[in-house]
Amino acid sequence: MRALRPGIRSGLDEWRVFGGDRYRRYLTIGLGAAGVSSLADAALTIPLLLVLGAPPALATLIGVLPIAGSAAQLAVPRLLERTDGNLRGVTLAITATGETRGIWLAIVTLGSVTHLLPTGLVIGLIAAIMTVAGAATTIGGANQLAWYGAVLAERERRFVAPRVMGVTLGLGAVLLLPAALLVQLLSPVTGVLVFALLFLLGGSAGVLELWAMARLPRPGRVRVRVPPTPATSNVELGRFVRIITLAAFGSGFGPYLSIYAISVLHQPPSFAIILTALGAGASLVTSTIVGGWLGHGSASRLLRVSFLLRGGSMLIGLLAFPANPLSGVVLCLVSVVVSAGAAAGTISANERLLRLVGREELFVAQGRYVAGVAAGTTGGQLLNAGLLAVAPLGYLPFAALFLASGVTRFFAAWRVDVSTSWSSATAAWRTDDLDPGKVGK
């Protein structure tokens, strides 16, 4: 058997280090978050809403509410001021609100199974839970990155943060494939009870994540410098946020593949879950590669590639018309490509943000970044839901959404500023540099 190439061997060594005792708590955080994001998120709630009878436009609208709520990230700097810089307490409280949502979704779904709650109320409660908890998860995740920066040396932060996000983004494939199988086999017998059981597993994963977070080193009192006006002096940051907002607008235009598969192609809910599982698998592979490479390479260039991947996948989606016997295969391909691009984009965008600003203004910059994503995605999805509400249900309105989303992402890719080379503005390090005796505790 031929020896692995040096680059591949180095990447595997870095992941082995990440799985060791020193970083075990960070790995556990990623594992718990992966369980929540796969078993208590849109991959299951959107098919459940459609099974309960919610129209596609309403399901799309419910999907955007958590993203709109995440704009509350702007209030985090003031919240830290009011709590005397208690980053640990604020982050744990916000994360607990979001990552335990599987428990509440399970209770509501059981209310539907036992007929204690009318269907309309169940749909409304799912929307409320996902709005509050989904926004809290986004805000808590941003605070976690700041926590890592407070307790880890910079070279360790560059090592740990992308890998935690990589595990979170990608490991869902391992969970969603059996989840799809359970829904396919059990839903004819148990109805929506199988969704309640899966939600409960997602809630348990959230408890595991919170336990691991509580065991991280304490970040101390984090003092945030909140300028009297928004931090506009950083020209690069302002341009970065505008590009991210534009790309998020294109993302909002993109239709939910699960809604299209069930409503137009008349696929079963299990197929919609499989689509998400394939996407999660692509995210896992992509984030594994990106997490190892990004410590040595250009975050801005990787961000541009991610826009191109996501835009191209939307144009491929135009081929998934009902008369095409391979439309299901096309949707699977779209899910894989768009998820790979999303994984690369999420990791590279967060890393780019951290490289653009100093630690003192990180929370203010994160607020602007998250608010930009929320505003862009919300605007796109509101137009998305409006089109689905007024247009006859079928291929044409979804084709318009695929096209608009793809073109917008390509335009964002053209507008994004990139570094002079693929390896510029970074400091290369070796696995040896991560020896506990050479870095800060």
Nearest CA to 254 out of 345, 335, 168 is that of: 335
Distance in angstroms (rounded) separating the CA atoms of residues 376 and 370: 10
d(CA 50, CA 257): 13
Please give the chain's pLDDT, 441 residues, in tens. 344 344 444 556 777 888 888 899 999 999 999 899 889 988 889 889 988 998 888 888 887 777 777 667 677 777 887 888 888 999 999 999 999 999 999 999 999 999 999 999 999 999 999 889 988 888 888 788 888 888 888 778 878 887 887 777 667 667 777 888 888 888 888 888 999 999 999 999 999 999 999 999 998 887 765 554 444 446 778 888 899 999 999 988 888 898 899 999 999 888 888 887 788 778 778 877 776 666 667 788 888 999 999 999 999 999 999 999 999 999 999 999 998 998 888 888 887 887 777 555 666 777 788 888 888 888 888 899 899 889 888 999 999 999 999 999 999 998 888 777 676 544 433 444 444 444 333
| CB-based burial label for 208 (10 Å; 0-12, 13-18, 19+) | middle
- The pLDDT of residue 165: 78
Residues whose CB is less than 8 angstroms from the CB of residue 47 and which lie 6 or more positions away in sequence, other chains included: 183, 258, 262, 269, 272, 273
Angle separating helix axes 119-151 and 42-51, nearest 10 degrees: 170
Q: 12-222+234-426 maps to which CATH number?
A: 1.20.1250.20
Q: What is the pLDDT of residue 230?
A: 47
Q: What pLDDT, on the 0 to 100 scale, is given for residue 358?
A: 59
Strand partners, 86: 221
Choose among 311, 310, 317, 314: nearest CA to 265: 317
Kind and range of the H or E run holding 212:
helix 193-214
- DSSP assignment of 244-284: HHHHHHHHHHSPPHHHHHHHTS---HHHHHHHHHHHHHHHH
The string of DSSP codes covering 301-347 is HHHHHHHHHHHHHHHHGGG--TT-TTHHHHHHHHHHHHHHHHHHHHH
- Under 8 Å between Cβ of 168 and 174: no
What DSSP state is assigned to residue 171? T
Residue 212: which of 263, 269, 168 has the closest Cα?
168
- Predicted pLDDT of residue 326: 94
With both helix axes pointing from N to C terminus, report the angle between 235-253 and 327-356 in degrees, rounded to the nearest 10: 160
In the chain, where the domains are located: 12-222+234-426
